[in-house]
A and B are shown apart, each in its own frame.
Chain A
Amino acid sequence: MATRAPTARQRTEAAVNYPLEWLDERSALVAGLRYFLFRKVPHDTNWFHTLGSATLTAFLVQAGTGVILAMYYKPTPNEAYESIQHITNDVTLGWLVRGMHKWGASVFIILMFLHMGRVFLFGAYKYPRELNWIVGVLLLVTGMTEGFTGYLLPWDQTSYWATVVGININGTAPFVGSWLSQILRGGAEINADTLARFYSIHMLLLPGALIGLILFHLYLVVRLGVTSPPWSKTAAGRDRPPEPEADGRRSGLIRPGPRGGIAR
């Protein structure tokens, strides 16, 4: 068979695909994305299953607006309050960014609780998804700690005194209490060090932890799949007479496959 010179169309396609193929050959990212997008989910998933991605969206709003706020916010007792006023009054659309961050926090917390309620009512925390429930609870606690540390940053009366009491409440913990409140305050009193600490925890430590936990959470969602609604007559995994496996034995979750993978 004689090889023909590629047509112009084929040359263009090859040129367009080349960067993607280059990337995929080295990272398998394109194949991973394709798997993520075109993986099968139970046919009866519904609007209740969107609460998790809605929570992720609220988190991304917090991350994006937080980055912008950090460009203008000054974490010192003398400047914090004035920098918030500057953001709200002078910076172009600063009021919108601050407002979205302030209200987005509440939306994020509400969505976390709704998502948790959905998972609880659907019984979606049951085998083999127990670990993802635990990661979710850690996300809830970390998210609420984000709320607590962010509350001090505007440096107004409510936030200051709520933080005084909040730190003192941490101090009531047995054994670690005084050590914990000392660490949070960065000294004996709430002062510039405390504000810097809360700022650092609020925008470095906890977001880092949240991102790590979210990635693991999503990895487990993709690996283990989502559950059908419990009322579905055609739920994936419904009880029925067992079909014998091709290799003649019943197997568990960890099953050596051709490529050693599990969730396919």
Chain B
Amino acid sequence: MSTTPRERPTPSPDGRRRVLTPLEERRAQFQRYKQDVKKEGKAFYPFAMFHDTVMSLAVVCVIVALAVIWKYTAGEHPDDSGWLGPLYKDKADPGTTSFVPRPDWYFYFLFYLLRIFKWPESVLLGTIGIPTIAIILLLAVPFLDVRRERRLTRRPVAIVAAILVVISMGVLTYKGATAQEAIASELKAKVPVWIKQENLVANAQHVQGLPAGANASALAVRGAHIFSEVGCLTCHTYLGSGSSNLGAPDLSAEGAKGKGIQFQINHLQCPACVNPGSPMPSFGGLGNDNLLALATFLESSKGG
């Protein structure tokens, strides 16, 4: 940053040449700005206001056009999405958990960041860290760049920073928009493969902490089916299936972590109670039987 004062003759009361400090230079420039605007400027009305009015009318037209295109290309049915998406999606159902949480498009960059950062080590970086740093950096821009220079060719750092920000936001938004979600029928077809590859039937026999008389192997197999159906794989991955979202970890070797049945059940009931700050929703609605099966399945998954 070249904040070195520039030598410039300045008439001062005692007739000596004085070097302006950067602040004095900026103030002098603003004085010149006000003189120039007074002398050479144009009246806001009608000259600048004409441009503003035309642009504002264009904005309103674009908004109306989007609303009209949206309405007239979409059908009544939620699946008939037209050019700009359906008029309605299905009504909210807190009972289903197999739904992919997808924010509005301008949060896609954040949504995609959470595919990159994984629970528990770095998810905080994606959820809080990077957005907070971005906001602080934005607020600090006028204090990081205190030079008077405004010409683009003389501001290489600012230009490179702007290009990098635009590219990274663009790429993250695009990736978020086109992120592939797991398809339920494909996941169901994978269950027999999992059972074989993970050796679930045999592994289940070694799971501790099941109720007396429970058929461990049957529980694990049932758990695998539930696992494929209730939406775990919209965020977690398992033996290469599913989509990695919101920082959720891979579960192929969850059983190898030795957390125990009771932990798994507690966690499914209230993820944030066990892992403070976990973004995972509660699966308590599945009922105790299903949670026990899911927990047995997870504890039997040793990584194949």
Contacts and interface: CB of A to CB of B under 8 A. Distances in A.
Task: Determine chain B's interface SS by DSSP, over half rule.
Answer: helix
Nearest to B93: A157
Interface string A141-157: 10010011001001111
A6 interface: no
Interface in A138-195: 140-141, 144, 147-148, 151, 154-162, 164-166, 168-169, 171-174, 177-178, 189-190
Nearest to A38: B43
Contacts of A124: 150
B285 to A, nearest CB: 10
A154 B88 contact: yes
Contacts of B67: 95-96, 98-100, 102-103
A49 interface: yes
Contacts of A173: 127-128, 277
A231 B38 CA distance: 20
Contact of B279 (A38, A39, A159, A168): A168
Contacts of A106: 66, 104-106
A264 B34 CA distance: 8
A88 B62 CA distance: 20
A245 B66 CA distance: 54
A75 B89 CA distance: 17
A214 interface: no
B148 A127 contact: yes
A113 to B, nearest CB: 8
Given A57-B59, A103-B66, A160-B92, A240 B44 contact: no
B263 interface: no
A9 interface: no
Interface stretch (B135-143, B190-198, B290-298): B135-143
B102 A134 contact: no
Interface in A104-130: 104-107, 109, 111, 117, 120-130
B6 to A, nearest CB: 9
B26 interface: yes
Nearest to A166: B103
B90 interface: yes
B128 A172 contact: yes
A238 to B, nearest CB: 7
B139 A50 contact: no
B18 to A, nearest CB: 9
Interface in B17-48: 23-24, 26-38, 40-45, 47-48
Interface string B70-110: 11000000000000100111111110100111111111001
Given A133-B142, A230-B152, A36 B70 contact: no
Given A36-B44, A40-B42, A238-B36, A158 B30 contact: no
Task: Give the interface size class of chain A.
Answer: 35 or more
Contacts, number: 293
Which of A85, A117, A157, A242 gathers most chain B CB within 10 Å? A157
A137 to B, nearest CB: 5
A22 B246 CA distance: 61
Interface stretch (A66-74, A197-205, A249-257): A249-257
Interface residues of B, number: 96
- The interface centre, meaning the residue of A81, A126, A178 with most chain B CB atoms within 10 A of its CB, is A126
A57 to B, nearest CB: 4
Given A41-B41, A173-B128, A238-B36, A53 B92 contact: no
A54 interface: yes
Contact of A41 (B29, B37, B101): B37
Interface stretch (B49-57, B177-185, B210-218, B253-261): B49-57
B102 A237 contact: no
Contact of B30 (A40, A42, A127): A127
A231 B114 CA distance: 40
30 contacts: A39-B43, A40-B42, A42-B42, A57-B56, A77-B92, A84-B88, A96-B71, A103-B84, A106-B104, A140-B138, A147-B104, A147-B107, A148-B104, A154-B89, A158-B99, A160-B99, A162-B103, A168-B272, A168-B280, A169-B110, A169-B127, A169-B128, A177-B277, A225-B34, A236-B33, A242-B8, A250-B28, A251-B31, A253-B27, A253-B30
Interface of B: 8, 10-11, 13, 23-24, 26-38, 40-45, 47-49, 51-52, 54-56, 58-60, 62-64, 66-68, 70-71, 84, 87-94, 96, 99-107, 110, 114, 123-124, 127-128, 135, 138-139, 141-143, 145-152, 155, 158, 162, 166, 246, 272, 276-282
